[in-house]
Amino acid sequence: MADFEGLYNYWIVIVLAMAGLYIVIARGNLIKKLVGLNVFQASVFVLYISFSKVSGGTAPILDKGIDVYSNPLPHVLILTAIVVGVATTALGLALVVRIRKEYGTIEEDDIHSQDESM
Amino acid sequence: MLKAHLPALVIIIPLICAALCVLLRRKDWAFTVALLATWASFAGSCLLLVRAMNEGVISYEMGGWPPPFGIELRVDALNVYLLIIVSGIGSVVAPYARNSLLLEYVEDRAYMFYSAYLLCLCGLMGVSITGDAFNLFVFLEISSLSSYVLIALGFDRRALTAAYQYLVMGTIGATFIVIAIGLLYQATGSLNMVDISERLPKAGYGNTTVIAAFAFLVVGAALKIALFPLHQWLPNAYTHAPSTVSAFLAATATKVSVYILLRFVFTVFGVRFSFEILPTATPFLILAILAMFLPSIVACFQTNVKRVLAYSSVAQIGYMILGLGLVSVAGLTASIVHMFNHALMKGALFLVLGCIFYRIGSCHIDRMAGIARRMPWTMAAFVGGGLSLIGIPLTAGFISKWYLILAALDKGWWYLAVLIVISSLIAIIYLWRVIEAAYFREPPDDLKEVSEAPLNLLVPAWILVLANFYFGIDTSISVGVAEMAAKALMGAG
Amino acid sequence: MKDYLVLRVITKLLVPFILLFGLYVQFHGDFGPGGGFQAGVIFAAGFVLYAMVFGVTSAQRILPNGILRAGIAGGVLIYALVGVIGLILGENYLNYSPLSHDSKEGQHLGIFLIELGVGTTVASVMMTVFFTFATWRED
Amino acid sequence: MLDTADYIALSILLPLIGTILIWMSGPRPNQREVVTVITATLTFVCVLQVLPPVMAGETPTLTVLQVLPGLPLEFVVEPLGMMFALIASFLWIITSFYAIGYMRGHNEPNQTRFYMCFAIAISSALAVAFSGNMLTLFVAYEVLTLSTYPLVTHNQDDEAKRAGRVYLGILMSTSIGLLLVAILWTWLAAGTLDFTKGGILKGKIDDGLVIVMLFLYMYGIGKAALMPIHRWLPAAMVAPTPVSALLHAVAVVKAGVFTVLKVIVYIFGADFLRDTGASVWLMYVAGATVLLASLVAMTKDNLKARLAYSTVSQLSYVVLAGALATSFSIVGGAMHIAMHAFGKITLFFCAGAIMVATHKTKISQMRGLGWRMPFTFGAFLIGALSVIGLPPLGGAWSKWYIALGAADAEQIIFIAVLMISSLLNIAYLIPVFARGFFGPKEEEQAQMTDTHHGHHGHDDHGTARPADATPKRIAEAPVFCVVPLWITAIGCLALFIYADQLYAMLAPIVK
């Protein structure tokens, strides 16, 4: 039980990741898929941020009288990852808008059936 | 003086020029800048090759921060091999793009195409050269994002769905990789790949974090590689993308992903962990064999020639993974050589298809009936590339096959050698369908007006075709460097 | 939105502060939490708010697409060229030490410029994304 | 002065240079054909220059480049290859003349491509002949396959396409699927692929595996047309007759059996093969092929198809000779390459000449034709007798030596095979001749109507020309067709007389 509680952040990560992946796989709506993708990516952000926490440490800003800091490196990495995520989402949305324009729908099944009938 | 900074220059030149293209905006200027950038990058890679051969591993500290703290650019035989592939193909494809239909389609936004193209090149080069795991992810995403854009430029609306599908799959793959990197960082406290590999034994091979990292990495990389059965995105993407883009991506993107897999499995995790402690070799072999056969068979039934080639790419990836799964210097040499040779042959074939598309507006096998009479040089190039894909002696494809079979026999697995051979025979079937259609069928009436493709499309295609023959005869560079790289990879464990 | 006086007034009041805060985050980034990424987004948020209340067209009058595009490319160029300056001055790429006579000061200046580039690009990209979607016409 | 190595290079390069010249003179047929003939002659002269040193016991060598570490692209001339090169390059000259007559007489399209591919095929056949190691041979072997594909499919109709599929399918799949594996295995086991006297595999490979290896090699060399992978050869007969003549009586199939002999002599080593007894199965397969193909040949009404099956049968003589692996049989097999080349090319030339002159392809239509074309049918008889193996024609010697070899190897049964096969040869070749002369002339008219409900449905230009059906006194094929076929017929005779020289030349390969 102690293991379970002590590692609760990982459980959050796993739940988030699985939820995200599930949405990506199970939903036919292209926007919802992107949402799922974002949730999935968010789980990774949580993973990085949570394992950079040093117990008892403060925010990594140098100041007098503080010598225990959280590890700042993962934060920086995740900043980059977030930017990548934003770019991906923006691009994905742009594609969805174009798809909507060309196909008149953003439901995967409809798009498939239109492609098949061609 | 600049020579010392070559590792940085080969990636920042495309980056700066990508930005310049956007600022200049004029189509011709953007074209010139892109051309110069790719060529400069290629020249730089060649110089790096010479340096790496003479001096061994070159390490370049970004910002002057020594590794493992700073980002290190690391050039060993494998890195430089990839750099040559990527920048070489990049510099052949760049002039090709100018006259292809692609730019007429995007009209006044041609500079955007060049910008995305250079960014993709920059990303792929970056992945190949960086010694830092997280940096690798960033470059990977740079290349992936720009390749989604490039694919979406296709003429058909299905290009959009293909790009979307690739985006979703690619992002999942990249996120898996980033999870793996995070777990590795957690286990070792380092992001420098060499440093991680040194610290891993201390973390303990039984460490579940490390095992989880390994699993995430392999799956993520397999998604990016389009390893069977995770290949679904690839045929669509390559079929509907503009031929220029298909040629560039087919020749480079999957190779770079294979590099990621090789680099992590062999250098970072090490042979001992990857293959002795974990039973990874057998799954790789099984997947590789499936990949060699099923997509090839599917390719035989396709009517769009681009799709035929796309499925063939999935099959060819099987060969690379097979070499990896053999876990021997010979096998790895075969894998690495095949990356190079496959880049040459698929690049050539897709460029040829671009020529055909330029004239007849389709790559459908029925539309290509009798085309050899109208476009003899184009189809001759197709035959040349096809022969290499089949693996006829004196072509590059033969060399890869030779090493792969040799590696299989070396292990005493003759049945594997037989499988390799049989699968390569399937290539004859799917290619010969195209060749028969082009040479034997009567051209339809609307094909009467079609003439030979313009020179600036033909020349790049022929350069790659001739390269196929050159590297089938003189293998001292292609095999020599690959062998060094393979030895380094195996030695690292 | 023309009729919502409260929104219009509040927005007019807020926008300068948002932009100012963006600049603070930008330029204070090398001493405390902050930097180009965050600043760029905050800066863009100011304009996005303005565009939402006063219409995209009026926002684009201030920031036409050309400028934004130049901003995107320019930011990247600033970043890359600052690195190249270090390289020309005989140090490795992205080593800022030689930018000034004192290496510590050089580092300071370098990261300042780099973050400026990042901020420019991020702000321009965010606004471009917003404007692109906001002005999308189904035709 | 050029040294021998230069002549080797020239022999292979000249046809390639000729290819380019032929291409450039494409629109001017006369120039194109002059170029072909000149190239062919020069090539033969170059090959001849290599002969004296080889006769003197030297092995002139030309290393082109290292393809893979330890594996150069290398040409080494030894007697067996010398003989093959001489035959191929000499018959190229003859065939060029013949092709001029045939192709023009037949108004074939795409003649430029025809001559170009022809030249490339000859170049690769010479490269096969001169190759110094298995890799070089393999390369040349594949180039030969590919360059002859456009020749086989020359007509570009559906039949040609199907034939092309069979041709390429069998030859490529066997060579890549089996031969390449065998070569790689050899390379791994022996560490070299050089053709070495006495073989390179002895002691390098388990005795039990020798059979597997031999199987891979023998069925990998699809061009040797061992049953059941012989299908490509009859299929390839849709090609224009000069192609069938040179490539399928000389270059391609002979490259196949030549490779078989090379492999047996220089890779396995005849002694090694005999000691392990690994080749016994091959003897039976080859013997069976000899007999079965002869039987099939008897059922064929199309003259070229009959000749094709005859070729399948004759090729297996050489394979049988190799499998017997005694010094007599191997020399006999090598001689048979030469003897059969001249005999069979004569027969093909005759078939082509008949087709050009009368547009007839079926034996059943040839009644009484001998009176119209006495020279052609006369040559046919000589060729046939040589293939059958009767003195005073070349074929007699090779069969004699192979029989001697069989006796030497104490495989008496194969002497019987040879005898029966000779009888079968008589049974399917002589009737062609006999029909030509002994068939009643008067029936010609009636027989013409016969062909309309002929059985095979082969497309046949002849029926459309009733004017030709009335018997004339003599209406031979063009001179360009008739002269070459007499040259080769005389060649059969000459080979009988000068057989001891040939024997002397070939003997060193088994010493």
B304-362: per-residue pLDDT in tens? 899 999 999 999 999 999 999 988 898 999 999 999 999 999 999 999 998 888 888 77
Residues in D closer than 8 angstroms to B406, CB to CB, are 184, 187-188
Query: Is there a cis peptide before residue D392, judged by omega within 30 degrees of 0?
Result: yes
Of chain B residues 388-417, which have a CB less than 8 A from chain D? 390-394, 399, 401-402, 405-406, 409-410, 414, 417
In 3D space, the residue among B387, B382, B418, B388 whose CA is nearest the CA of residue B400 turns out to be B388
d(CA D10, CA D23): 19
Q: Give the model's confidence band at D463: pLDDT under 50 very low, under 70 low, under 90 confident, else very high.
A: very low
Residues in B closer than 8 angstroms to C73, CB to CB, are 19-23, 115
Structural domain contains residue A62: no
CB proximity C66 to A under 8 Å: no
Helix, strand, coil percent content, chain B, rounded in steps of 5: 80, 5, 15
pLDDT of residue B104: 62
- How many structural domains compose chain B? 1
Residues in D closer than 8 angstroms to B419, CB to CB, are none
Which SS3 state, helix, strand or coil, does residue B452 take? coil
CB proximity B23 to C under 8 Å: yes
Q: Give Cβ neighbours of residue B356 (< 8 Å, ≥ 6 apart).
A: B305, B363, B368, B371, B375, B378, B453
Could you list the residue range(s) of the whole structural domain that residue A47 is in?
2-56+68-117
pLDDT of residue D61: 82
d(CA B354, CA B129): 30
Residue B202, burial from CB neighbour count under 10 angstroms (0-12, 13-18, 19+): exposed
pLDDT of residue B106: 64
In 3D space, the residue among D445, D352, D427 whose CA is nearest the CA of residue D388 turns out to be D427
Task: Report the half-sphere exposure of D183 (CA within 13 A, side-chain side).
Answer: 27
Could you list the residue range(s) of the whole structural domain that residue B432 is in?
279-493
Residue B249 has pLDDT above 70, yes or no: yes
Q: Give the model's confidence band at D457: pLDDT under 50 very low, under 70 low, under 90 confident, else very high.
A: very low
pLDDT of residue D50: 85
Residue D5, burial from CB neighbour count under 10 angstroms (0-12, 13-18, 19+): middle
Give yes or no for a contact between B288 and B315, defined as CB atoms under 8 angstroms apart.
no
Among C28, C31, C37, the strongest candidate for a mutation testing the A interface, having the largest count of A CBs within 10 A, is C37
The interface pTM score, or ipTM, of the predicted complex is 0.83
Structural domain contains residue B6: no
pLDDT, mean of residues B261-286: 89
> pLDDT for D59-98, tens place per residue?
888 888 777 777 888 888 888 888 888 888 888 888 888 8
Q: DSSP for D464-501, please give it.
A: G-HHHHS--S--PPPHHHHHHHHHHHHHHHHHHHTHHH
Q: Give the model's confidence band at B365: pLDDT under 50 very low, under 70 low, under 90 confident, else very high.
A: confident
Parallel, antiparallel or unpaired: strands B72-75 and D61-68: unpaired
CB contact under 8 A, A93 and C133: yes
Q: Give the model's confidence band at B257: pLDDT under 50 very low, under 70 low, under 90 confident, else very high.
A: very high
Choose among D156, D160, D184: nearest Cβ to B405. Answer: D184
Q: Give the model's confidence band at B467: pLDDT under 50 very low, under 70 low, under 90 confident, else very high.
A: very high
The highest-confidence range among A69-73, B131-135, D239-243, by mean pLDDT, is B131-135
> pLDDT for D138-193, tens place per residue?
988 888 888 888 888 887 787 888 888 888 888 888 888 888 888 888 888 888 88
Range list of H helices, B153-207 = 158-188, 193-203
pLDDT of residue D1: 59
d(CA D326, CA B177): 65
Q: Give the model's confidence band at D464: pLDDT under 50 very low, under 70 low, under 90 confident, else very high.
A: very low
Chains that touch D (3 or more CB pairs under 8 A): B
Q: What are phi and psi of A69, to 5 degrees?
A: -120, 155
d(CA D120, CA D118): 5
Q: Give the model's confidence band at D452: pLDDT under 50 very low, under 70 low, under 90 confident, else very high.
A: very low
% pLDDT > 90, chain A: 39
Give yes or no for a contact between D377 and D437, defined as CB atoms under 8 angstroms apart.
yes
Q: Which residue has the tokens 């929104």?
A: C7
Q: DSSP for D151-183, please give it.
A: HHTTT-SHHHHHHHHHHHHHHHHHIIIIIHHHH
pLDDT means per 10 residues in chain C (139 residues)? 80 92 86 83 92 88 88 90 84 79 83 89 91 78
- How many structural domains compose chain A? 1
Choose among A40, A81, A95: nearest Cβ to B163. Answer: A95
In 3D space, the residue among D126, D223, D131, D123 whose CA is nearest the CA of residue D173 turns out to be D223
Task: Report the half-sphere exposure of D27 (CA within 13 A, side-chain side).
Answer: 0
pLDDT of residue D47: 87
Other C-beta atoms closer than 10 Å to the C-beta of C137 total 5
Residue D439 has pLDDT above 80, yes or no: no
| Mean pLDDT, chain D, integer | 82
d(CA B71, CA B312): 37
pLDDT of residue B119: 93
d(CA D171, CA D142): 9
- Rounded alpha-carbon distances, angstroms, from residue D374 to B94, D381, D467, D468: 67, 11, 20, 17
Amino acid at B470: Y
Which SS3 state, helix, strand or coil, does residue D362 take? strand
Give yes or no for a contact between D290 and D312, defined as CB atoms under 8 angstroms apart.
no
> pLDDT for D305-344, tens place per residue?
888 888 888 888 889 888 888 888 888 888 888 888 888 8
| Mean pLDDT, chain B, integer | 88
Lowest-confidence range among B36-50, B251-265, B431-445, D124-138?
A: B431-445
- Rounded alpha-carbon distances, angstroms, from residue B146 to B112, B143, B343: 10, 5, 19
In 3D space, the residue among D128, D108, D130, D110 whose CA is nearest the CA of residue D120 turns out to be D128
Structural domain contains residue A89: yes
Lowest-confidence range among A104-113, B26-35, B393-402, D470-479?
A: D470-479
pLDDT, mean of residues A45-53: 87
Other C-beta atoms closer than 10 Å to the C-beta of B448 total 10
> pLDDT for D344-393, tens place per residue?
888 888 888 888 787 777 887 777 777 778 888 888 888 888 888 887 88
- Rounded alpha-carbon distances, angstroms, from residue B416 to A30, B262, B285: 42, 21, 10
CATH of the domain at A76: 1.10.287.3510
In 3D space, the residue among B115, B99, B104 whose CA is nearest the CA of residue B150 turns out to be B115
Q: Which residue has the tokens 């070799």?
A: B281
